[in-house]
Amino acid sequence: MSLDELASQIAEEWKSALSEGWGQLSSFHKSQTKKLAHQAALLAQLRISGELQHDSDMFEFLVDQLKDKTENFAIAIANLTALTFQEAWNASVGVLWGAINSALGSAGLPPLPVPSAN
């Protein structure tokens, strides 16, 4: 396999992994941001309408819940992003070590162990 072919194959693996990962992130992102926006609108509406105008403790409790949900959303997005990059890294390693081990096998040499991410 030529260097250009190897580089192209790695690029395709990354493109595939990132595309699939983006699809998952995008779907999750759209669903969660709508829910967060809806909850924020409800909080404002409850405060403005007077239902929570004089109940500051309950209002603060609901605001804290929204803050926690927003933080959890950000953490989930970060974790999904990390998993996407892990899959892309694994694909790159598979291509590279596959090429190395193919060449080594052709020369009658033992294969290199495939590394894992730390």
Q: How many CB atoms lie within 10 A of CB 30?
A: 10
For tokens 């403790």, what's the residue? 57
pLDDT tens-place string over residues 37-72: 999 999 999 999 988 888 889 999 999 999 999 999
CA distance linking residue 115 with residue 110, whole number of Å: 15
Could you tell me which of 109, 111, 114 has the C-alpha nearest to residue 90? 114
| 118 has pLDDT over 70 | no
